[in-house]
Amino acid sequence: MNVQKKFPSSVDVARRAGVSQSAVSRAFAEKASISSKTRAKVFAAAAELGYRPSAIPRIMLTHRSHLVAIATGGMYNPFQSRILELFTRGLNAMGYQLILVHVEAGDSLEAAMPQLASYRVDAVLVARGVLDEQSAAAVASYRIPIVAFHTPVSNPFVSSVCVDSISAGRQMAAHFAARGARRCAFVGGPFRTTTDRLAGFRAVLAERGLAEPIAVPSAFTYEGGRGAAQRLLAATPAPDAVFCANDLVAIGFIDVARQLGLRVPEDVMVAGFDDIPEANWSSHSITSFSESGVSMVEASLDILKQIGEATAQLPVQVVLPVRLIERNSTRRNLPPL
Amino acid sequence: MNVQKKFPSSVDVARRAGVSQSAVSRAFAEKASISSKTRAKVFAAAAELGYRPSAIPRIMLTHRSHLVAIATGGMYNPFQSRILELFTRGLNAMGYQLILVHVEAGDSLEAAMPQLASYRVDAVLVARGVLDEQSAAAVASYRIPIVAFHTPVSNPFVSSVCVDSISAGRQMAAHFAARGARRCAFVGGPFRTTTDRLAGFRAVLAERGLAEPIAVPSAFTYEGGRGAAQRLLAATPAPDAVFCANDLVAIGFIDVARQLGLRVPEDVMVAGFDDIPEANWSSHSITSFSESGVSMVEASLDILKQIGEATAQLPVQVVLPVRLIERNSTRRNLPPL
DNA sequence: TTGTAGGCGTTATCAA
DNA sequence: TTGATAACGCCTACAA
């Protein structure tokens, strides 16, 4: 494989081309005063040696690495992997390289920070929806700009981008109520994005005079949805409309409901969140909230663009609207009974 | 957000602690002869200034960045995102940081190489199963060790890790034959991993005296599977056993089959590849090939460990076995008719 | 347009 | 155990 420990340097190229080292540097610079003749000599020598300019010294000189870290996890969720792909493409297009670190829970971002700081990353993007106030403070102490994704953090050093969870909860409650739901349930984890959703959900149900929803905690996974369904559907009376924390949970819920002989949406309506591709599979066709991913990534990239600009007004807290997408899992015109 | 352009350096810490710069360097080194008293002084000063050692100068001195690039794409496929997560965790545990680049097709890895080379990455992992001989040669010219994942490349500068595709095709043909298949089909793209699978599939069908399989090209997506089903199931006679290039394709195929009123596996058996979590959902329960991901990642990490070791014997070509997992989508005891 | 020289923040060597 | 000094590879004045 011919792994060599040392790559040719601009000095090597300069010697071979019979010019100074600065001439080599200028030959590879975008806008630099250099004669085309000298440049040609340099390029020829560079090609012979297989020279590739190193970005490392520039980091030392400019204090900018053009490296952005992204901390994420739970990539079993297609929403997360789609977000990651969008960030990768967007950042590459902006001239950044992306360092990916796996974060299992909120506090392990702190464990990764020393490494990220040592590479002098220009910013850290926290794509996992888990960053509480305390770890946000610890992470902010590194004085590296942080952008929290899908997590409403209120810390003076952390920007955040998220969707309007309360509105989402309200929209879903209205949707269920309009389709004749009587006994609603909410399946979700203990994190703030879902508690906000539950708050909005609960508020509108109360406004419509419907019963207080049963709230069941659940992991944000297919299996979590199955477990919640087993518990909820064994109850008497069972709920007839269930708002799940995400689409994977909704799919698990539906699969168990069907195995129990229930029809969706006739016997029980089920809705999710994130609008992952699987939500649109004809086998499930799940009502969800749409395309928040693309606009959230765009908003995050806008924030990153500002970092390093002198005029930057940071941190920023961005809250984006959500839009309900109705599919078969809640599509019924007549309330049962 | 208090973005400062310059972080405190070891010289700043040294001045504050009243010691030499080398003392600071030693205080943060794992094994270095330094008195605990000096180290305490250094740590105190470092904490006051918020000093974090930089890894950048070390890269210049040692010619090792502890950066590994991973080129991937198609993360809509849960197999890819799982692989990526496994690599991220494995490399982080090995003390590497991972640079993620998005690659749309084989040749765009070449487009990303100058950037990766400029960051002096220690190796490039090509996780997308697309790297033909030609672009492998172009990429190898950078003299950075390459590990091709899930792609059997024969290039003297590229290591590769893949599964035994021919064996997979043979196993599936035997499986179908044992369950009474008469008219088999193969749905897959034009890449070498699938042509090998098809070759093995075809060979065993011939050995068993079954008809030559119909082969239908398809994108490696849910939609691709749907399209293939629409074409294949409209034919007369329609196939009664279909080996799909991956699980997403198989799921799309099943969804269309059911919408056409066909039963799986009674009317048509369907199998996939990769054993993604979705394959085990009770809604589909797809026969697939299992856990190749974990062992492939492990094998790739083993290769990366060798890179930089003096005793390294590279490149290496690793071929791993596959194991068929039977699920409901092919589980039938009696041949129909 | 070209070359010379200084410096970025570390590690490694050597002397004290 | 310490401190001084020389790299590492590039960019950027500054001088020619």
**Considering CB atoms only, which of A55, A117, A315 is closest to B118?**
A55
Contact present, B267 and B231 (Cβ < 8 Å): no
> Which residue in the block uniquely carries the two structure tokens 């011939």?
B206
* Chain A residues within 8 A of B308 when measuring between CB atoms: 3
Q: What are B324's two structure tokens? A: 């068929």
* Chain A residues within 8 A of B252 when measuring between CB atoms: 281
> Which residue in the block uniquely carries the two structure tokens 């010219």?
B141
B317: amino acid identity, one letter: Q
Q: What are B50's two structure tokens? A: 């918020």
* Residue B20, CB, strand D, below 7 Å: yes
Residue B224 CA to nucleotide D12 C1', Å? 55
**Considering CB atoms only, which of B60, B75, B252 is closest to A82?**
B75
Per-position DSSP letters for B111-137, written without gaps between them: HHHHHHHHTT-SEEEE-SS---HHHHH
Contact present, A157 and A123 (Cβ < 8 Å): no
Q: Which nucleotide is nearest to A59 (CA to C1')?
A: C8
Asked whether the beta carbons of residue B100 and residue A100 sit closer than 8 angstroms, the reply is yes
Asked whether the beta carbons of residue B59 and residue A56 sit closer than 8 angstroms, the reply is yes
The dihedrals phi and psi of B159, each to the nearest 5 degrees, come to: -85, 160
* Chain A residues within 8 A of B282 when measuring between CB atoms: 255-256, 258-259
**Considering CB atoms only, which of A1, A88, A117 is closest to B315?**
A1
Nearest to A92 by CA among B136, B68, B116: B116
A2, A239, B34, B159, B227 from B307: Cα distances, Å: 10, 58, 32, 11, 44
DSSP 8-class letter at A280: G
pLDDT of residue A2: 46
- Residues lining strand C at under 7 Å (Cβ) are A 19-23, 26, 33-35, 37-38, 57, 60-61, 63; B 6-7, 9-11, 21-22, 25, 28-29, 51, 53-54, 56-58, 60-62
Asked whether the beta carbons of residue A63 and residue B117 sit closer than 8 angstroms, the reply is no
- Alpha-helix runs per DSSP H in chain B: 10-17, 21-28, 36-49, 56-62, 78-93, 108-118, 133-140, 165-178, 192-207, 222-234, 247-259, 292-306
Q: Measure the N-to-C terminal CA separation of chain A; round to a whole number of Å.
A: 73
- Distance CA(B181)–CA(B173), nearest Å, equals 9
Distance of CA B302 to the CA centre of its chain: 14
A137, A152, B79, B246, B326 from B279: Cα distances, Å: 41, 34, 11, 10, 11
DSSP 8-class letter at A4: -
- Distance CA(B327)–CA(B288), nearest Å, equals 8
Q: Of all protein residues, which has its CA closest to the C1' atom of C9?
A: B57
> Which residue in the block uniquely carries the two structure tokens 């699938």?
B194
* Residue B38, CB, strand D, below 7 Å: yes
**Considering CB atoms only, which of B2, B60, B82 is closest to A56?**
B60
* Chain B residues within 8 A of A314 when measuring between CB atoms: 1, 3
pLDDT of residue B270: 98
Contact present, B46 and A111 (Cβ < 8 Å): no
* Chain A residues within 8 A of B141 when measuring between CB atoms: 50
Per-position DSSP letters for A232-267, written without gaps between them: HHHSSSPPSEEEESSHHHHHHHHHHHHHTT--TTTT
> Which residue in the block uniquely carries the two structure tokens 């290769």?
B303
- Distance CA(A255)–CA(A228), nearest Å, equals 11
A115, A209, B21, B29, B42 from B24: Cα distances, Å: 18, 68, 5, 9, 6
DSSP 8-class letter at B212: P
Q: Which nucleotide is nearest to B39 (CA to C1')?
A: D1
- Distance CA(B202)–CA(B206), nearest Å, equals 6
* Residues A107, A109, A114, A116, Cα dihedral to 10°: 180
Residue B110 CA to nucleotide D2 C1', Å? 49
Contact present, A284 and A251 (Cβ < 8 Å): yes
- Distance CA(B152)–CA(B192), nearest Å, equals 8
Helix pair B10-17, B21-28: axis angle to 10 deg? 110
Contact present, A323 and A253 (Cβ < 8 Å): no
Closest chain B CA to residue A260: B282
* Chain B residues within 8 A of A73 when measuring between CB atoms: 85
Asked whether the beta carbons of residue A73 and residue B85 sit closer than 8 angstroms, the reply is yes
> Which residue in the block uniquely carries the two structure tokens 């602690």?
B17
pLDDT of residue B312: 75
DSSP 8-class letter at A310: T
- Average confidence score pLDDT of chain B: 92
Contact present, B125 and B87 (Cβ < 8 Å): yes
Contact present, A324 and A172 (Cβ < 8 Å): yes
Q: What are A151's two structure tokens? A: 């997590």
**pLDDT tens profile A83-115:** 999 999 999 999 999 999 998 776 778 999 999
* Residue B5, CB, strand D, below 7 Å: no
- Alpha-helix runs per DSSP H in chain A: 10-17, 21-28, 36-49, 56-62, 78-93, 108-118, 133-140, 165-178, 192-207, 222-234, 247-259, 292-306
Q: Of all protein residues, which has its CA closest to the C1' atom of C1?
A: A34
pLDDT of residue A172: 98
Residue A47 CA to nucleotide C1 C1', Å? 23
Q: What are B311's two structure tokens? A: 């005793």
Strand D-proximal residues of B, range 42-61, CB below 7 A, are 57, 60-61
Cβ neighbours for A331, distance < 8 A, ≥ 6 positions apart: A265, A287
A167, A234, B211 from A323: Cα distances, Å: 9, 32, 51
DSSP 8-class letter at B49: H
Sign of CA dihedral A305, A310, A311, A313: positive
pLDDT of residue B334: 61
- Distance CA(A250)–CA(A244), nearest Å, equals 5
Query: How long a stretch of residues is chain A?
Result: 337
Question: Residue A36: exposed, middle, or buried by beta-carbon count in 10 A (0-12, 13-18, 19+)?
Answer: exposed
Identify the three-state secondary structure at position A70.
Answer: strand
* Residue A290, CB, strand D, below 7 Å: no
Q: Of all protein residues, which has its CA closest to the C1' atom of D10?
A: A57
Min Cα separation A190/chain B (Å):
24
Q: Of all protein residues, which has its CA closest to the C1' atom of C7?
A: A61
Q: What are B26's two structure tokens? A: 């030693």
Q: Which residues of chain B have pLDDT under 70?
A: 1-4, 106, 129-130, 190, 192, 310, 334-337
pLDDT digit string (tens) for chain A, length 337 residues? 445 678 999 999 999 999 999 999 999 998 888 999 999 999 999 999 999 999 999 999 999 999 999 999 889 999 999 999 999 999 999 999 999 999 877 677 899 999 999 999 999 999 876 677 788 888 889 999 999 998 877 787 799 999 999 999 999 999 999 999 999 999 987 776 788 999 999 999 999 999 999 999 999 999 999 999 999 999 889 999 999 999 999 999 999 999 999 999 999 999 999 999 999 999 999 999 987 789 999 999 999 998 877 677 778 999 999 999 999 999 987 655 5
Q: Which nucleotide is nearest to A29 (CA to C1')?
A: D11
